[in-house]
């Protein structure tokens, strides 16, 4: 028993003296092949800010994101990326690279992002970027680039964002974009360079989606009338590259730095510019109106048949056959674009890109689509019911006209009044009225002929001077005042009165 106790105490002493793997005496485990002082985490490798003058010799093969920025790298060996077959992003910013060389990126076919900003690069050769067929974003700003080879970006068929700002470029070819394909390119940053000569027709021929991402501010642009009207139109259309940096677009009036003029703030300089030469620079976009729930078809009209046709949606999605990712837009075999059920998301600018041996690579056709909700249709009008109602009303009116007494109609329409009885003239003429009247005054037939009245014209009295005096033998009916025939002159009046009464 004593022997067992002594053995246990000895084991405890040995454990305290040697320590455990979890104690501070053991160094932390490092991942396999992780360079010294670098940080490895899963597929990330960061060697930033270590003052490295050369790339570490051994790099983990599982690296997908490699960060070598903020070091002192001066050159890159050809084939140095061969072990990194999973590499997707490479960060080389803030180093001292002066040139790249052929074959530097020969084994980086899967690379998506390459950051070479803030180095000392002065030129890009034709083969410096070979092997980067899948590259989507290239950062070259804040270097000392003076020259770009005519085909410097020839193999970058998938490039969508190119940043060349803050360099010393004095020219740039917008005709062929130094080998770039305008099909995918959405952002081209040329700001803060020394661009003093720009081909305005080439600039105007760029696709609309690339104009929206073309940054030319802080360059000594020429004070050209056509360029002014072109940029003014882009500003009015709301292109973000011009709208967001409108204050920084400048030109040199006399080709000296002291004559800098802001395009959108000193419009007096361009007051004498005529807009006529700038009208034919850009092909006007077609405006289409579509209703929600209806179908829409867009055709890519080109001057000659195209070999390949692609579309760019308002959401900057490249559309090829069979269509969009969500299935709402289809690209048909003839190159036309079809939308079966138009929705609000389909509003905006659609751009057709046509390529072929006889076409320029950036020949485009633009459609500006406006989407509206349809107006509610009015209820169907029942013409049968209205026709029947009209016939019934017409029949009632005809019956009233045929069978209603005429007096009733007159009294209802005219609200007849009776001429007030004046005792003195009527009493004086009562005897003469009784003699000349064919019907006795109290005869029953008098009431049956209510529309006939006897009128006397008495000219020979004193004070009339040949004028006509109207004497009414009975109540005068105002419903028919047009039946009276008055004649001036004493002779004519007396002759009429001698012959007899005039009835109306």
352 vs 367: CA distance, rounded Å: 8
Higher pLDDT among residues 215 and 354, named by residue: 215
Give the C-alpha separation, 309 to 183, whole Å.
Answer: 10
pLDDT at 279: 57
Mean pLDDT score, 173-180: 84
Residue 320 CA, chain-centre distance (Å), reads 23
The span from the CA of 348 to the CA of 290, in Å, is 11
SS3 string, 230-295, reads HHHHHHHHCCHHHHCCHHHCEEECCCCHHHEEECCCCHHHHCCCCCHHHHCCCCCCEEEEEECCCC
pLDDT at residue number 132: 92
- Region 17-39: mean pLDDT is 58
What is the arithmetic mean of pLDDT over 72-88? 91
Mean pLDDT for the stretch of residues 370-392: 74
Residue-wise pLDDT for 227-260, tens only, equals 888 888 888 777 888 889 988 998 887 777 777 8
User: Which fold is adopted by the domain 286-372?
Assistant: Immunoglobulin-like (2.60.40)
Residue 365 contacts residue 348 (beta carbons within 8 Å): no
Q: Please report the sign of the dihedral spanned by the C-alpha atoms of residue 478, residue 479, residue 481, residue 484.
A: negative
435-480 per-position pLDDT tens digit: 444 444 444 444 444 444 444 444 544 444 444 444 444 444 544 5
Q: 58-67, 278-287, 456-465, 488-497 — which one is most confidently predicted on average?
A: 58-67
pLDDT of amino acid 503: 40
Mean pLDDT, the chain, rounded, equals: 75
Locate 447 and state its tokens: 């009431």
286 pLDDT tier (thresholds 50, 70, 90) = confident
CA 122 to CA 453: how far, in whole Å?
122
Q: Where are the domains of the chain?
A: 286-372
Confidence at residue 434, expressed as pLDDT on a 0 to 100 scale = 44
Higher pLDDT, 455 or 84: 84
**pLDDT reported for residue 358:** 59
Q: In this predicted model, what pLDDT tens digit does every residue of 354-379 receive, in sequence order?
A: 777 655 545 677 788 888 888 766 55
* Residues contacting 428, CB < 8 A, separation 6+: none
| pLDDT value for 298 | 86
Asked if residue 35 has pLDDT above 60, the reply is: yes
User: Over the stretch 86-115, which tens digit does the pLDDT of each residue have?
Assistant: 999 999 999 999 999 888 998 888 999 999
Give the pLDDT score at 303. Answer: 55
65 Cα distance to chain centroid: 40
Question: For the chain, how many residues are written?
Answer: 504
Neighbours of 485 (CB within 10 A): 10
Q: What is the pLDDT of residue 377?
A: 60
**What is the per-residue pLDDT for 302?**
65
pLDDT of amino acid 237:
76
Percent of the chain with pLDDT over 70: 65
pLDDT at site 238: 76
The confidence score (pLDDT) of residue 8 equals 56
> What are the DSSP calls for 357-369, one per residue?
TTS-TTEEEEEEE
Strands 187-189, 161-163: pairing is parallel
Q: What is the CA 41 to chain-centroid distance, rounded?
A: 47
CA angle 387, 389, 395 (to 5 degrees): 105
The 3-class secondary structure across 385-440, one letter per residue, is HHHHHHHHHHHHHHHHHHHCCHHHHHHHHHCCCECCCCHHHHHHHHHHHHHHCCCC
- pLDDT(500) > 60: no
């Amino acid at each position: 028993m004593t022997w067992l106790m002594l053995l246990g105490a000895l084991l405890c002493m040995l454990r305290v003296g040697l320590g455990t793997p979890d104690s501070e005496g053991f160094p932390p485990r490092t991942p396999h092949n992780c360079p010294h002082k670098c940080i490895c985490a899963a597929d990330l490798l960061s060697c930033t800010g270590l003052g490295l003058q050369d790339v570490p010799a051994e790099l983990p093969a599982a690296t997908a994101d490699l960060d070598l920025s903020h070091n002192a790298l001066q050159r890159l060996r050809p084939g140095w990326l061969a072990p990194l077959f999973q590499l997707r992003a490479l960060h080389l910013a803030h180093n001292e690279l002066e040139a790249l060389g052929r074959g530097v990126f020969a084994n980086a076919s899967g690379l998506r992002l390459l950051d070479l900003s803030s180095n000392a690069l002065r030129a890009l050769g034709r083969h410096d970027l070979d092997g980067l067929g899948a590259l989507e974003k290239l950062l070259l700003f804040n270097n000392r680039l003076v020259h770009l080879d005519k085909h410097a970006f020839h193999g970058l068929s998938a490039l969508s964002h190119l940043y060349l700002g803050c360099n010393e470029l004095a020219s740039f070819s917008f005709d062929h974009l130094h080998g770039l394909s305008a099909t995918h390119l959405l952002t081209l940053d040329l700001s803060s360079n020394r661009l003093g000569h720009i081909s305005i027709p080439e600039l105007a021929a760029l696709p609309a989606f690339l104009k929206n991402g073309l940054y030319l501010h802080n360059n000594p642009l020429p004070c050209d009338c056509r360029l002014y009207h072109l940029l003014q139109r882009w500003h009015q259309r709301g292109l973000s590259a011009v709208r967001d940096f409108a204050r920084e677009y400048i030109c040199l009036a006399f080709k000296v730095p002291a004559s800098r003029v802001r395009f959108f703030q000193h419009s007096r300089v361009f007051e004498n510019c005529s807009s006529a030469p700038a009208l034919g620079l850009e092909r006007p976009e077609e405006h289409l109106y579509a209703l929600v729930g209806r179908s829409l078809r867009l055709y890519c009209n080109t001057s000659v048949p195209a070999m390949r046709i692609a579309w760019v949606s308002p959401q900057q999605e490249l559309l090829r056959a069979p269509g969009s990712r969500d299935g709402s837009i289809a690209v048909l075999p003839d190159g036309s674009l079809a939308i079966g059920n138009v929705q609000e998301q389909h509003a905006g600018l659609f751009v057709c890109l046509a390529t072929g041996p006889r076409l320029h690579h950036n020949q485009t056709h633009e459609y500006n689509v406006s989407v509206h909700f349809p107006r509610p249709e009015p209820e169907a009008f029942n013409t049968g019911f209205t026709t029947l109602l009209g016939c019934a009303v017409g029949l009632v009116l005809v019956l009233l006209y045929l069978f209603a007494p005429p007096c009733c109609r007159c009294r209802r329409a005219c609200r007849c009044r009776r001429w007030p009885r004046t005792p003195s003239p009527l009493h004086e003429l009562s005897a003469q009225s009784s003699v000349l009247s064919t019907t006795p005054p109290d005869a029953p037939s008098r009431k049956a002929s209510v529309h006939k009245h006897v009128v006397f014209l008495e000219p020979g009295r004193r004070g009339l001077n040949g004028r006509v005096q109207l004497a009414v033998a009975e109540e005068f009916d105002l419903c028919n005042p047009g039946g009276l025939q008055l004649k001036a002159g004493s002779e004519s009046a007396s002759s009429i009165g001698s012959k007899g009464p005039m009835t109306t």
